[in-house]
Structure 1
Amino acid sequence: MIILPQSVFSKMWHTINLLFCAISAVLYPYVTAFGFPHLFHPITVCIIATETVMLFDIVFNFLTAFEDEGSMEMVMVHSKIARRYIFHGRFLQDVIIWLPIGQLLMLANPTLAIFLLIKTYRFEQLIMFMDRKKVMPIFRSYFDSKTQKILKNPYLSEDKINDHNQIFSRLIASSVYNIVQLFTIIWIIVYVVAMMWCILLNYERNYWKDESQ
């Protein structure tokens, strides 16, 4: 089984994976600060789902074809795909993030719960997706399709007002995207800093509790 990177299934999977990347960026700082709730708590269920999606994403990368930079042809051989992912891709990084290193250290010593924040590195994928080079072509293709419809219509092709509206809509879309990107990054930074503050307070509280005993 080989999955083409431009297929509908591939795009749907990347959307699901990015959603769970965002969820992990929120949940892991929280459980690092306040600990894991009971097994059937919604937060625990979401974390298990996040880990499952991460595992499937590693498998997905072993099955996804890639374009050879030299010949510009799609490589669909399993051994070549695996070699590229392991030696030139994110395989080692993905495995380290997926392994329950933080959970095991947390069980050994609660003060080592901070290692759970390794999991938040998955948010990098969402930040990379928000790169203008990747997002703006989506806006461009949307507006280009609308422009083609206008040009095919003899009554609208000479409409300068509609033409100006298309340009103005592009500028608005670009500005809105920049604002959303900025606020998302600021929100994540503030959230992680707040959780780090809670982690330090819990660590200090546990330290003085141990000292008093």
Structure 2
Amino acid sequence: MKKLMSVILCLGLSACASKELRIHGQEESSTALFNMEVSAEINEDYSDPYNILLQINFESNDGKWIRIDEAEVFTDNKEDAFNVIVGKDLVSWAEAKDEEKKIRDHNTEMTDNVITGVGGAAVVLGILTGDKNIAAAGLSGVAAGAGMSAYHKISEKKKNAQGVKMVPEGHLYAPFTVPSMSLTKRWVLINCPSGRVSKVIKLRLKTVEGESVTYKINLMERS
């Protein structure tokens, strides 16, 4: 019973959404005081070896409203140069990735249903033949299928709560505001033509008042 409660507790904690993402941005330089936490995370559902969808969260920790007029991501390593995708290319990419995700989600659901279905058939067979081992194995299959289905549903809900809406207004390069003591989410698509992803990227922000700040984001911190 204790082990079961531990598993349930771990699942509950892992399912909780967070304001702070996996990768912690480090302030490198600034022309003014920015009491703001920056974190990022790679959206694996929409990323591949050549394209990275990066979500960036901005969280204000004081009474100052931070109005960003310009944002830029770049790297100091010329060998790992990348492009930020914008405009019509971005629309074409989003439509293609949405179709791919629909197929993946369908296949995942079908796999969960098959596991549950096979387990249920084994339970019936075990009852009919009086074989407790088959029935027990069937119950395990039903539990596994139900468990995987629940896990996938919980994971999807967490992504929806923690993720950012991929709409033009939410793009990193569109002007945005981080209200006092609040959270603002942004996203950006990075294309790496060589397939070599820069380990460290820089994020430079410039406010409407002309103040600027640069953060270092270590993409290898994604684990």
Give the TM-score category using the shorter length: 0.3 to 0.5
Q: TM-score, normalised by structure 2?
A: 0.35
Higher helix share: 1
Q: TM-score, normalised by structure 1?
A: 0.36
Higher strand share: 2
Q: Which has the higher contact order (CA 8 A, sep 6+)?
A: 2
